[in-house]
Amino acid sequence: MLKRLLSNDDEPEPPAVSVPFDALLDIAQSERRRQCLRTVNEHGRLELTDLAEIVAAAEVGTDRDQLQSQQRKRVYVSLYQTHIAKLDNTGLVRWSQTNGTVCATAETGPAVDALNDLADRTTGGDC
Domains contained in the chain, CATH given: 19-120 (1.10.10)
- pLDDT tens digits along 39-63: 999 999 999 999 999 999 999 999 9
Helix axes 21-28, 31-43, angle to 10 degrees: 100
Closest by CA to 93, choosing from 21, 14, 39, 25, is: 39
| CB-based contact 40:51 (threshold 8 Å) | yes
Write down the pTM of the prediction: 0.83
37: pLDDT confidence band, cut at 50, 70 and 90? very high
